[in-house]
């Protein structure tokens, strides 16, 4: 009995031992003899959920012109060893496939394509790259090729990548910006990245070769949600005007860089913002947003802040006298000079401002604020010059306005600050200073985005944000506008010579410090030329600033370098705004009465009547209005009007009616009109009040007078 048990135990042990040895041997075979094969197979059948980026939203200008959009591009490959593609099918169609690939993508010959296909088939290669960044149209043609027309079953491997496109190329490029992982956000793309990028989806992918993955299913396992669109305040037409005007000035003066901002005065909407930096003597490009990101000493454009502080604190009169001597004065150990000698040793504040006298402005500011400079700085803070505006676009520069308690406040700080030195401001801050006057004392926040949309529906509408109201007294605004007008009409900007409308503005010519030092040698000096203002003066619509850095052709004054850019932009923008046309104050001598019209747009008729000083009684819509009677100068409403045609289905009395007004009304009722002669209707073949019959003929005889 015991022997039998021992035999069974030993047999069981031997069986398990043999099984264990077999397993160990199989592991050895798989690991070492077949290891390469199975590792390759493992890589081939690896699957994972891959994140699929959503389609990024579009960026539009205010008129829905595309500023930035995403276009799909495709990497097209072929897996000639896909399951289901047998040798017979492959051999029958590979020649045709190679020939068609050569016609579609001629970078390789038919022979080269055929060699690629054969080699991949022989070596069990699961992926051949055919074309990178193919367009959608090219992909559709590939899908019709032999073998590949079966899609994934035919071995077609398509990897989609979206590419961000700027349809207008460099226009507003820096403002549009970019958003890339690991890179500091730039412009609107960066500021609104979370809104534009949408929500990524997930798709189950299979690894087929190298780092090439192919979707297993046609649809995503987790659907992506496309990004939302943003509609900006920019106007691409105005942007184009601004950039071309700036570019011409930069090339002409061989300047290092320049910027322009044009903003709607009342709303704060930025209509154009251009930043161009020099690459070579004829080429400039957008690379940095100098307009909002780089504070510098503004120079004479800052003088507006100085006079506003004088008006607000002491109600100084613009005719107050200032002793400027020969245009030179000394503050402690530093000498201040005017660019040009004054016409008189004693000038008014208005004359000092319009001729941009450094001595004049610094003296009057020192006279009133020397004992209490805190009040001067207080007003600068009220004007929002000491803080950022927290605009949509990242990278806004931080301004610097010194305070009397600062360690670097010296005895010379107040006079030099009053003329635009020892302070740091961006062009945007100077623009907003002038907009404060143009907008009747209200500070609005600059805005770049009007609304956010998704599938054409508005999700969020942005409104103008008023930061401060009634910052300036009405008398201050009135005096400031007078000074800014004098600059353009009689002062440093009189070369602008804009006659169509009035402009208020100020020139600026600031010497730029190099490594903290101002050079006295003319060859070593560099300047920032600028002009900032608003138009039209009486009811400002736009505020604009132009800055040009380091002009190098011997001319560096703001009025001569930056002024022409402002003029070109202002005139072109103004000419395109029909609402800017001033109404006629007097009735022209050659107009006796309004022409006969159909009252289909009574608002236009009322507008003409008002501005031509021609009387117009109360009328209803759709009425026909005859000419003014030369006797009474009153309108007599035509008894038979459009309402009669519609309601009573009868033909009205058409005598005296313009054929151009009668024709569409009659034809709309199915009447065939035959016209004889020229001028107005004097006779009609069908009597008035006759019932209209569709298709009937109506002969209208016109007078010979046109």
What angle, rounded to 10 degrees, do the helices at 303-314 and 427-438 form? 40
Q: Which superfamily does 241-578 belong to?
A: DD-peptidase/beta-lactamase superfamily (3.40.710.10)
Average pLDDT value over all residues in the chain: 83
Kindly report whether the global pTM for this prediction surpasses the value 0.85.
no
Is pLDDT larger for residue 687 or for residue 278? 278
Closest CA to 222 of 94, 92, 51, 38: 51
Residue 81: per-residue pLDDT: 86
- Tell me yes or no: is domain 50-232 CATH 3.40.50.200: no
Residue 667: per-residue pLDDT: 66
Contact 358, 419 (CB under 8 A): yes
Contact 483, 352 (CB under 8 A): no
Q: Return the minimum-mean-pLDDT range out of 266-280, 330-344, 357-371, 688-702.
A: 688-702
Does pLDDT of 261 surpass 70? yes
Does pLDDT of 355 surpass 50? yes
* Percentage of the residues of the chain whose pLDDT score is greater than 90: 48
Contact 433, 265 (CB under 8 A): no
696 CA to centre of own chain: 56
How far is Cα 144 from Cα 414, in angstroms, rounded to an integer? 77
Contact 697, 672 (CB under 8 A): yes
Residue 545: per-residue pLDDT: 98
Question: Which pairing describes strands 697-702 and 672-676: parallel, antiparallel, or unpaired?
Answer: parallel
DSSP states along 82-99: -TT--HHHHHHHHHHHHH
Q: What is the pLDDT of residues 495-529, one digit of tens each?
A: 898 888 999 999 999 887 655 555 555 556 789 99
Residue 401: per-residue pLDDT: 97
Is pLDDT larger for residue 639 or for residue 293? 293
What is the C-alpha radius of gyration for the chain, rounded to an integer number of angstroms?
Answer: 39
Read off φ and ψ for residue 237, nearest 5 degrees: -70, -45
How many CA atoms are closer than 13 Å to the CA of 704, on its beta-carbon side?
0
Q: How confident is the model at residue 5 (pLDDT cuts 50, 70, 90)?
A: low
Q: How confident is the model at residue 600 (pLDDT cuts 50, 70, 90)?
A: very low
Q: Return the minimum-mean-pLDDT range out of 127-136, 354-363, 638-647.
A: 638-647
Q: How confident is the model at residue 40 (pLDDT cuts 50, 70, 90)?
A: low
* Secondary structure element (H or E) that encloses residue 699, with its range: strand 697-702
Does pLDDT of 168 surpass 80? yes
Q: What is the pLDDT of residues 478-490, one digit of tens each?
A: 999 999 999 999 9
Residue 617: per-residue pLDDT: 52
CB atoms within 10 A of CB 155: 27
Q: Return the minimum-mean-pLDDT range out of 78-87, 329-338, 445-454, 622-631.
A: 622-631
For 218-354, strand residue ranges (E) read 229-232, 257-264, 270-280, 283-285, 321-323, 328-331, 334-337, 346-348
Q: What is the pLDDT of residues 517-566, one digit of tens each?
A: 555 555 567 899 999 999 999 999 999 999 999 998 888 899 999 999 99
Q: How confident is the model at residue 603 (pLDDT cuts 50, 70, 90)?
A: low
Q: Return the minimum-mean-pLDDT range out of 143-147, 446-450, 584-588, 673-677.
A: 584-588
Q: How confident is the model at residue 706 (pLDDT cuts 50, 70, 90)?
A: very low
Report how far apart, in Å, the C-alpha atoms of 312 and of each of 252, 266, 414, 477, 482 are.
41, 22, 17, 10, 15
How is domain 597-702 classified at the CATH fold level? Trypsin Inhibitor V; Chain A (3.30.10)
Q: What is the pLDDT of residues 613-661, one digit of tens each?
A: 555 555 554 444 444 333 333 333 333 344 445 456 778 777 777 665 5
Residue 511: per-residue pLDDT: 85
- Show the tokens assigned to 151: 């899609």
Closest CA to 174 of 261, 297, 290, 266: 290
Residue 42: per-residue pLDDT: 60
Buried b (16+ CB within 10 A) or exposed e, 529-538: bbbbbbbbbe
Over residues 161-170, mean pLDDT: 84
| Torsion-angle region of 658 (φ positive above 0: left; ψ -120 to 50: alpha; else: beta) | beta
Owner of token pair 């107050």: 320
Over residues 72-88, mean pLDDT: 85
Report how far apart, in Å, the C-alpha atoms of 433 and of each of 88, 217, 402, 532 are.
79, 59, 17, 10
Report how far apart, in Å, the C-alpha atoms of 350 and of each of 318, 322, 480, 511 are.
5, 10, 10, 24
Question: Which pairing describes strands 527-535 and 681-684: parallel, antiparallel, or unpaired?
Answer: unpaired
Residue 625: per-residue pLDDT: 45
DSSP secondary structure letter of residue 31: I
Over residues 567-580, mean pLDDT: 81
Does pLDDT of 265 surpass 60? yes
Read off φ and ψ for residue 695, nearest 5 degrees: 90, -10
Report cis status (omega within 30 of 0) of the bond before 536.
yes
Q: How confident is the model at residue 468 (pLDDT cuts 50, 70, 90)?
A: very high
């Amino acid at each position: 009995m015991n022997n039998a048990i021992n035999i069974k135990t030993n047999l069981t042990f031997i069986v398990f031992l043999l099984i264990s040895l077999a397993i160990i041997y199989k592991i050895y075979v798989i690991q070492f003899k077949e290891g390469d094969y199975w590792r390759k197979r493992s890589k081939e059948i690896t699957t994972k959920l891959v994140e699929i980026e959503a389609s990024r939203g579009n960026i539009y200008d205010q008129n829905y012109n595309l500023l930035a959009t995403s276009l799909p591009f495709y990497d097209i490959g072929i897996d000639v060893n896909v399951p289901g593609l047998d040798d017979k099918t492959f051999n029958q169609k590979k020649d045709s496939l190679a020939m068609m690939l050569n016609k579609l993508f001629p970078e390789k010959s038919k022979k080269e394509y055929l060699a690629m296909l054969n080699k991949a088939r022989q070596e069990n290669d699961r992926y051949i790259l055919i074309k990178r960044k193919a367009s959608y149209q090219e992909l559709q043609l590939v899908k019709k090729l032999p073998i590949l027309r079966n899609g994934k079953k035919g071995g077609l491997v398509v990897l989609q990548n979206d590419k961000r496109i700027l349809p207008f190329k460099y226009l507003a490029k820096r403002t549009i910006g970019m958003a890339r992982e690991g890179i500091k956000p730039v412009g609107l793309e960066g500021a609104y990245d979370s809104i534009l990028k949408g929500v990524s989806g997930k798709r189950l992918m299979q690894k087929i070769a190298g780092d090439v993955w192919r979707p297993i299913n046609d649809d995503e396992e987790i659907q992506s949600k496309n990004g939302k669109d943003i509609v900006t305040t920019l106007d691409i037409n105005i942007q184009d005007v601004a950039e071309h005007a700036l570019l011409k000035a930069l090339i002409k003066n061989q300047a290092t860089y320049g910027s322009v901002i044009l903003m709607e005065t009342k709303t704060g909407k930025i209509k154009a913002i251009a930043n161009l930096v020099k690459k070579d003597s004829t080429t400039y490009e957008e690379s940095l947003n100098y307009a909002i990101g780089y504070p510098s000493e503004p120079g004479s454009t800052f003088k507006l802040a100085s006079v506003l502080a004088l008006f607000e604190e002491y109600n100084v009169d613009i005719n107050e006298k200032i002793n400027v001597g020969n245009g030179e004065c000394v503050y402690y150990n530093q000498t201040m000079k005017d660019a040009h000698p004054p016409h008189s040793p004693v000038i008014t504040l208005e004359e000092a401002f319009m001729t941009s006298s450094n001595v004049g402005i610094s003296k009057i500011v020192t006279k009133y604020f020397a004992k209490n400079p805190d009040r001067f700085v207080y007003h600068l803070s009220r004007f929002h010059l000491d803080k950022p505006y927290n605009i949509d676009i990242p990278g806004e520069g931080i301004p610097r306005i010194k305070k009397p308690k600062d360690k670097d406040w010296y005895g010379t700080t107040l006079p030099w600050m009053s003329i635009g030195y020892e302070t740091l401001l961006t062009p945007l801050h100077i623009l907003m200073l002038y907009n404060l006057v143009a907008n009747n004392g209200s500070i609005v926040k600059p805005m770049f985005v009007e609304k956010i949309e998704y599938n054409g529906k508005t999700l969020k509408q942005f409104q103008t944000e008023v930061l401060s109201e009634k910052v300036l007294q009405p008398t201050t605004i009135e005096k400031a506008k007078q000074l800014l007008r004098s600059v353009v009409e009689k002062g440093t900007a009189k070369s602008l010579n804009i006659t169509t409308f009035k402009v208020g503005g100020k020139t600026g010519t600031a010497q730029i410090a190099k490594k903290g030092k101002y050079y006295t040698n003319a060859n070593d000096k560099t300047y920032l030329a600028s002009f900032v203002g608003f138009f039209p003066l009486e009811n400002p619509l736009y505020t604009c600033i132009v800055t040009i850095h380091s002009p190098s052709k011997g001319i560096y004054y703001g009025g001569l370098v930056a002024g022409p850019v402002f003029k070109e932009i202002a005139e072109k923008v103004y000419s395109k705004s029909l609402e800017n046309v001033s109404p006629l104050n007097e009735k022209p001598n050659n107009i006796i009465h309004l022409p006969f019209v159909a009252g289909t747009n009574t608002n236009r008729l009322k507008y003409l009547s008002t501005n031509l000083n021609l009387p117009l009684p109360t009328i209803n819509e759709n009425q026909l209005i005859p000419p003014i009677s030369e006797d009474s100068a009153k309108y007599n409403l035509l008894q038979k009007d459009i309402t009669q045609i519609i309601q009573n289905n009868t033909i009205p009395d058409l005598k005296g009616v313009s054929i151009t007004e009668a024709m569409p009304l009659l034809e709309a009722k199915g009447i065939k009109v035959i016209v004889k002669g020229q001028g107005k209707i004097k006779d009609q073949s069908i009597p008035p009040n006759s019932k209209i019959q569709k298709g009937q003929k109506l002969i209208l005889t016109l007078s010979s007078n046109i």
